[in-house]
Amino acid sequence: MRLITATLAACLLAGCGSHSTQPPQEAEGTQSQIENSMQQLGVVPYPTDVSTTGGQWTLPASVQLLNSGGDTALLALQELLSQLHITQDPTAAASIELSLINDDALGAEGYRLSIADGISISANTDTGLFYAVQTLRQMLPASSEATYQLPTVEITDTPTYPWRGNMLDVARSFLPVEYVKAHIDRMSLFKLNRLHLHLSDDQGWRVEIKKYPKLTEIGGASAVEGGRSGFYSQAEIRDLVQYAAQRHVTLVPEIDLPGHTQAALAAYNELACDDVTRLGTYSGKEVGFSKLCLTKPDVIYPWVEDVLSEIVDLFPSDYIHIGGDEIKDPLYPEFIARAAGIVADLGRTAIAWEEGSVADNEPDVLLQLWNDKYDIQPALERGHKLILSPCSYTYYDHGNYQGQPNTYDWCRKEGVPLQRAYSMDTSKFGAAVGIESAMWSELVHTDATADNRLWPRLAVTAELGWSQASDKNYEQFTQRLSNLQAHLDALNIHYYPEPDLGW
Ligand code: TNX
């Protein structure tokens, strides 16, 4: 709000005229930097096209809402208005209008938001309308104030990538349902739309599978040393899926196969090769020691099929992640191709970590790149697309600063500070559906620590995933984001006090 007021003051003083206020790539000097920043809306991710007319409009204490079909958008708008103590009155002079239209330029997620002598929002879908409401939410204060002044503006906004995601490792250390719901709320404020849940690993199994109850009886009770155990029942998953859908977030489940499976082996010993002696649960931090016995196809494939069938029943996501990281076995490529085939037979498409690119997969299988320098070129040539998670930019289990206690630094010894995360050039990795940051949880054992690792860096994932690369400007990003501190506070986020934001 402060920035918006400053914007208006600057416009009123200097006369903004009717020109685009998209942030230019290079600010030329201190004076122009200040002017540029003052002309920006305090919105993250920055919208595609913003033009101000130099005026302002005061949102009155009571408005009428006109809605043609934006169900979740209407709910979000009503929630926003009630937080600001603005009442709805069908006879009020001022209106906020949500309209479903037909405009190819907006795609499935884009919207137009116009503020003149009222607010008019249009989009092809409820999703687009919902995102417009999120933009409006960021332009307004986080809690009620005496008056609400908005700049008169025309925004047209569409995302760069359809996949704007975050991965939570709930396997090493569990995150309770309440945390996941709060996380979905927070993601939606930034137009993030994929929540990848890493549901199984050596240290734990976190989703109820009816046919194999010991997975959660045994695997749900274990965790990494110092971490939390637990699991989601199928009823809880269904509730979460619905909660996420109402906020335009798709839950993408991962069952990590055929490595990272000690929790499953501990529950069902027959999945391990006969000479394996390590058959109990595991709470250390090593990786790459466990695997399903690939020479026992009659045992493991029916199990994989049963587990994935229940996963597909629970999660409506078009994509199901089958893991595939950190394992060496001559039968590995065959396993990945077969597991991806099982997913396809269930009517969905598989995602595998980058190593899965050695398998003979259909080109629609998505590959998730996690080592910056992995040679993914051959897979790109076969037509695969990527989810970009290069660890030196997107691994938020790495420090907010070099040497932050309880963070990893195996990928980048300086950690992944905000500015580093923002500096990722998404175009240099090849054809991508989008970007996803990851929070592994070997060292993240509480909600507050999770918040500290995720925020404010998740705002970077949002901006790189949504905004135009040509608008990228770290100074301006930090100015816009610092302006949103009250919004993060209102969401009760225990964010890292990032010095670049003055927090
Ligand atoms: C690598 S990235 C892993 C995870 C660890 C993470 C820790 C990937 C596919 N595998 O098993 O938790 O490093 O940063």
Is residue 129 in some structural domain? yes
Instruction: Give the per-residue pLDDT at 10.
Output: 32
- Tell me the average pLDDT across 11-21: 30
Same-domain pairing of 312 and 395: yes
Residue 1 lies in a domain: no
Q: What is the pLDDT of residue 4?
A: 37
Burial environment of residue 29 by CB neighbours within 10 A (0 to 12, 13 to 18, 19 or more): exposed
Looking at residue 69, its pLDDT comes to 77
Confidence tier at 40 by pLDDT (50, 70, 90)? confident
- Give mean pLDDT, residues 470-486: 97
pLDDT of residue 31: 38
Q: How far, in Å, is the centroid of ligand 1 from the Cα of 122?
A: 41
Residue 125, classified by CB atoms within 10 Å of its CB into exposed (0-12), middle (13-18) or buried (19+), is buried
Going from the Cα of 430 to the center of ligand 1, the distance in angstroms, rounded, reads 22
Q: Does residue 236 carry a pLDDT above 80?
A: yes
Residue 345 CB partners (closer than 8 Å, separation 6+):
none
- pLDDT, average across residues 28-57: 73
Distance from the CA of 394 to the center of ligand 1, in angstroms? Answer: 12
Quick one: CA dihedral 232, 238, 244, 248, positive or negative? positive
Please answer whether residues 96 and 73 qualify as being in contact, where contact means their C-beta atoms are separated by less than 8 angstroms: no
Range of weakest confidence among 53-57, 151-155, 194-198, 206-210: 53-57
Q: How far is CA 136 from CA 139, 190, 194, 448, in A?
A: 5, 12, 22, 28
Tell me, yes or no, whether 177 and 317 share the same domain: yes
CATH assignment of the domain containing 57: 3.30.379.10
Nearest to 254 by CA among 216, 293, 317, 198: 198
**Is residue 258 located within the same domain as residue 375?**
yes
Domain-located, residue 365: yes
Does 108 fall in a domain? yes
Mean pLDDT, all residues of the chain: 93
> If you take atom 4 of ligand 1, which residue's CA is the nearest one?
440
Q: What pLDDT does 170 receive?
A: 99
Of 140, 157, 174, the one marking the end of a domain is: 157
* Distance from the alpha carbon of residue 101 to the mean position of ligand 1, in angstroms: 44
Q: Are strands 163-169 and 432-439 parallel, antiparallel or unpaired?
A: parallel
Least confident of 18-22, 164-168, 192-196, 284-288: 18-22
352 and 393 in contact (C-beta within 8 Å)? no
Sign (positive/negative) of CA torsion 363, 369, 371, 372? positive
Rounded Cα distance, 91 and 184, in Å: 35
Question: Mutation test of ligand 1: which of 169, 196, 286, 326 has the most ligand atoms closer than 8 Å to its C-beta?
Answer: 326
Is the distance from the beta carbon of residue 396 to the nearest atom of ligand 1 less than 6 Å? no
Domain assignment of residue 282, given as a range: 163-501
Query: What is the predicted pLDDT for the residue at 25?
Result: 40
Whether residues 45 and 188 share a domain: the answer is no
- The CA distance from 252 to 218, in Å, is 24
CA distance 390 to 344: 26
Q: CB–CB of 414/458 below 8 Å?
A: no
Instruction: State the closest ligand 1 atom to the C-alpha of 397, by its place in the atom list counted from 1.
Output: 14
Nearest-atom index, ligand 1, CA of 442:
12
Residue 3 has pLDDT above 50, yes or no: no
Q: Which of 136, 157, 178 is the C-terminal boundary of a domain?
A: 157
Same domain, residue pair 371 and 459: yes
Ligand 1: centre distance to CA 371 (Å): 10
Distance 442 CA to ligand 1 centre (A): 9
pLDDT of residue 53: 81
In a 13 Å sphere around the CA of 288, the CA atoms on its Cβ side amount to 6
Contact 358 CB / ligand 1 (< 6 Å): no
The values of phi and psi at residue 437, to 5°, are -90, 155
Question: What number is the average pLDDT over the span 397-423?
Answer: 98
Pairing of strands 200-201, 111-115: unpaired
Band of residue 39 on the pLDDT scale cut at 50, 70, 90: low
Predicted local confidence at residue 20, as pLDDT: 37
Question: To test ligand 1's pocket by mutation, which of 201, 262, 287 has the most ligand atoms within 8 angstroms of CB?
Answer: 287
- Asked if 149 and 167 sit in the same domain, the reply is no
Does position 5 have pLDDT exceeding 50, yes or no? no
Extract the tokens encoding 387. 């989810």
Would 481 be classed as within a structural domain? yes
Nearest to 339 by CA among 329, 349, 327: 349
What is the CATH classification number for the domain harbouring 485? Answer: 3.20.20.80
Residues 153 and 178 in one domain: no
User: What is the Cα–Cα distance from 486 to 259, expressed in whole angstroms?
Assistant: 43
User: Minimal CA–CA distance to 498: which of 443, 455, 436?
Assistant: 455
Amino acid at 275: D
Residue-level pLDDT at 35: 38
CA of 440 to the centre of ligand 1 (A): 7
Give residues with Cβ within 8 angstroms of 442, minimum separation 6: 169, 172, 173, 224, 227, 285, 397, 408
Is residue 413 classed as helix, strand or coil in its secondary structure?
coil
pLDDT at 111: 98
Same domain (yes/no): 132, 176: no
State how far the Cα of 191 lies from the Cα of 165, in Å rounded to an integer: 10
Per residue in 347-374, pLDDT (tens digit) is 999 999 999 999 999 999 999 999 999 9
Residue 17, domain member (yes or no): yes
Domain count, the chain: 2
CB 370 less than 6 A from any atom of ligand 1: yes
CA atoms within 13 A on the CB side of 156: 9
Both tokens of 231, joined, read: 């699991």
pLDDT at 30: 38
Q: Residue 28: pLDDT above 60? A: no
Residue by residue, what is the 3-state secondary structure of 131-167? HHHHHHHHHCCCCCCCCEEEEEEEEEECCCCCEEEEE
Residue nearest to atom 2 of ligand 1 (CA): 370
Question: Could you tell me if 334 and 234 lie in one domain?
Answer: yes
Ligand 1 pocket mutation pick from 322, 392, 393, 440 by most atoms within 8 angstroms of CB: 440
* Element counts in the chain: helices (H) and strands (E): 17, 18
Q: Which atom of ligand 1 approaches the CA of 353 most closely?
A: 9
CA of 325 from ligand 1 middle (Å) equals 8
Cβ–Cβ < 8 Å for 435, 194: no
Across residues 5-32, what is the average pLDDT?
Answer: 34
284: helix, strand or coil:
coil
Average pLDDT over residues 444-461: 99
- Note whether 231 and 145 are same-domain residues: no
Our answer on whether the CB atom of 287 is closer than 6 Å to any ligand 1 atom is: yes
Q: Which residue, of 157, 173, 188, is where some domain finishes? A: 157
- Please check the confidence at residue 489 and state whether its pLDDT lies above 90: yes
Percent share of the chain, pLDDT over 70:
92
In a domain, 450, yes or no: yes
pLDDT-derived band at 68 (thresholds 50, 70, 90) equals confident
The CA distance from 28 to 126, in Å, is 40
Tokens of 374: 């992995």
Q: Let me know whether 188 and 127 are in one domain.
A: no
- Write out the H or E segment, with its range, that includes residue 421: helix 418-422
Burial class from Cβ neighbours inside 10 Å (0-12, 13-18, 19+) for residue 460 reads buried
Give the tokens for residue 121.
């929002």
Cβ–Cβ under 8 Å, residues 169 and 439: yes
In 3-state terms, what secondary structure has residue 389? coil
What number is the average pLDDT over the span 33-60? 82
Same domain flag for 149 and 179? no
pLDDT at 475: 98
353 lines ligand 1 (CB under 6 A): yes
d(CA 122, CA 133): 11
What is the whole-number distance in angstroms between the Cα of residue 287 and the centre of ligand 1?
8
Closest approach atom of ligand 1 to CA 370 = 2
CA of 384 to the centre of ligand 1 (A): 22
Q: Is the pLDDT of residue 21 over 70?
A: no
